[in-house]
């Protein structure tokens, strides 16, 4: 699978990234104690509260962390590697699991994978295989065979250090759902739930947002709202201008031509700081000794929304962490107060109208304010993620489209 990185947060274990098209999972290297506690598969209770009468189809797809093979899991949690695809995409084996009817639940087994749990309403998803592996649905492609299907997915990793399960809007905002995990003591941590009326409220607000943001909304020929593309896809497909955040970026650039932006990218190392100043066509960052450690060109909307190009974030200990923090700050329009850090609170976000309005509106509709609306939305712990080192059960609840 093709992956976008998200930030590596401080965990009690050493972390590595295993990435997917909708973002990345944080995968922890197993400790001896945790490895003994986490079974090869855990129950996943999937509840259908959608109010939709159509059949739901469920898919558990991912990469085996033991073998590196891509494949799918059946309802019992047995892993099946994909067959080899051809140069021309060929149909993948039917990996669908019949999901619960509205008002009902089923329990599956989640094996130790890094991947996704897809669900679709009314029709099965069309997956294809090539020599490079599985072809994921491309919501930004109007010719994708899944374009007229209402579907969504959650992301998860289960390994010897526990389970990470998150909702995601990195690629699109669509059929709503919430995620949860039961801890060893029986308590349940949940996230990803919209406020009452939040689904329609999001689409109404996005359509009314000046600047072309309503062009991100996609509907079926019968008028059914299918999704809103993430703005990075909107820029790529031309429905959103690549200059849509220019005014805000120019404000940031002007401010730090005469003052300093302080970036503290590590929540567990608050003393590590870098200092940004614009000179010419670059924002240069120095360390405490005054040594220049990295520089950034002025970003366009594509760079901001996708956290790449002028905001590329390699998996290192200097440029990557600074870039992730900058990217989050540009999306949240929170860089004008002079500092940016890994401990940024949601109260510091979206105070200026020039940032990522798609992300702002998603966070505003969440019960707990948490979402994964862009690749580095976990900077400042604002992401919709549940984790437990000793999980007893995972939950995905399909919520109403109201």
Sequence ranges of the domains in the chain: 15-207+364-398, 246-355
Which pLDDT score, from 0 to 100, does residue 283 have? 98
CB 368 within 8 A of CB 148: no
Q: Report the alpha-carbon distance of residue 64 to residue 316 in Å, rounded.
A: 25
Instruction: Report which of 220, 20, 227, 202 is spatially closest to residue 140, judged by C-alpha positions.
Output: 227
Q: Report the alpha-carbon distance of residue 355 to residue 252 in Å, rounded.
A: 11
CB 45 within 8 A of CB 25: no
Q: How many CB atoms lie within 10 A of CB 345?
A: 12
Q: Residue 112 to residues 61, 139, 161: CA-CA distances in angstroms?
A: 11, 27, 11
Which pLDDT score, from 0 to 100, does residue 344 have? 61
- What's the fold here for domain 246-355? Metal Transport, Frataxin; Chain A (3.30.920)
110 is written with which tokens?
């989640």
Q: Report the alpha-carbon distance of residue 229 to residue 226 in Å, rounded.
A: 10
Which pLDDT score, from 0 to 100, does residue 28 have? 41
Instruction: Report which of 314, 312, 21 is spatially closest to residue 170, judged by C-alpha positions.
Output: 21
How much is the CA Rg of the chain, to the nearest whole Å?
21
379 is written with which tokens?
């900077």
**What's CA 167's distance to the chain center, in Å?**
7
User: Please, where are the H alpha helices in 309-399?
Assistant: 319-332, 357-365
pLDDT beneath 50: ranges in the chain: 1-36
291 is written with which tokens?
């040594």
User: Please, where are the H alpha helices in 243-315?
Assistant: 246-255, 301-306
Q: Report the alpha-carbon distance of residue 165 to residue 368 in Å, rounded.
A: 16
Where would I find the beta strands (DSSP E) of 125-271? 128-130, 133-135, 150-159, 162-167, 172-173, 177-182, 188-191, 217-219, 225-229, 261-264
Which pLDDT score, from 0 to 100, does residue 61 have? 98
CATH number of the structural domain 15-207+364-398: 2.60.110.10
Mutual angle of helices 357-365 and 319-332, in 10-degree steps = 80
Question: What's the CA dihedral at 143, 147, 153, 157 to 10 degrees?
Answer: -10
Which pLDDT score, from 0 to 100, does residue 5 have? 38
Q: Report the alpha-carbon distance of residue 228 to residue 171 in Å, rounded.
A: 9
Q: Residue 117 to residues 40, 157, 186: CA-CA distances in angstroms?
A: 17, 11, 23
Residues belonging to the active site:
155, 171
Which pLDDT score, from 0 to 100, does residue 353 have? 76
For tokens 């329990």, name the residue: 107
CB 400 within 8 A of CB 102: no
CB 377 within 8 A of CB 362: no
Residues ≥6 apart with Cβ < 8 Å to 333? 248, 349, 350, 351, 352, 353, 354, 355, 356
């Amino acid at each position: 699978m093709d992956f976008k990185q998200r930030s590596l947060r401080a965990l009690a274990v050493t972390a590595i990234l295993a990435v997917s098209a909708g973002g990345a999972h944080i995968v922890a290297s197993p400790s001896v104690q945790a490895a003994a506690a986490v079974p090869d598969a855990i129950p996943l209770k999937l509840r259908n509260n959608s109010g939709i009468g159509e059949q739901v189809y469920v898919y558990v797809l991912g990469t085996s962390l033991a073998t590196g093979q891509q494949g799918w899991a059946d309802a019992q949690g047995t892993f099946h590697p994909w067959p080899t695809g051809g140069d021309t995409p060929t149909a993948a084996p039917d990996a669908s699991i019949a999901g619960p009817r509205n008002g009902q639940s089923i329990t599956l087994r989640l094996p130790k994978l890094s991947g996704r749990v897809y669900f679709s309403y009314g029709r099965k998803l069309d997956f294809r295989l090539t020599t490079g592996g599985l072809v994921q649905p491309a919501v930004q492609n109007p010719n994708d065979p899944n374009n007229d299907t209402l579907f969504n997915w959650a992301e998860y990793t289960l390994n010897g250090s526990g389970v990470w399960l998150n909702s995601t809007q990195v690629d699109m905002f669509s059929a709503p759902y919430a995620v949860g995990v039961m801890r060893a003591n029986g308590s349940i941590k949940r996230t990803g739930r919209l406020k009452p009326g939040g689904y329609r409220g999001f689409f109404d607000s996005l359509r009314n947002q000046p600047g072309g943001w309503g062009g991100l909304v996609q509907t079926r020929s019968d008028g059914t709202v299918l999704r809103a593309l993430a703005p990075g896809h909107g820029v790529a497909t031309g429905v959103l201008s690549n200059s849509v955040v220019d005014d805000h970026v120019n404000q940031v650039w002007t401010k730090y031509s005469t003052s300093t932006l302080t970036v503290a990218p590590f929540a567990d190392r608050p003393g590590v700081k870098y200092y940004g100043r614009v000179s010419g066509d670059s924002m240069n960052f120095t360390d405490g000794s005054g040594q220049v450690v990295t520089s950034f060109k002025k970003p366009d909307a594509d760079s901001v929304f996708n956290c790449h190009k002028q905001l590329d974030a390699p998996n290192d200990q200097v440029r990557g962490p600074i870039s992730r923090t900058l990217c989050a700050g540009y999306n949240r329009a929170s860089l004008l107060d002079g500092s940016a850090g890994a401990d940024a609170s949601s109260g510091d976000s979206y105070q200026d109208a020039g940032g990522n309005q798609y992300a702002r509106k998603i966070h505003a509709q969440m019960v707990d304010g948490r979402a994964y609306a862009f690749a580095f939305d976990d900077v400042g712990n604002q992401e919709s993620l549940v984790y437990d080192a000793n999980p007893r059960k995972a939950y995905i609840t399909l919520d109403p489209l109201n």
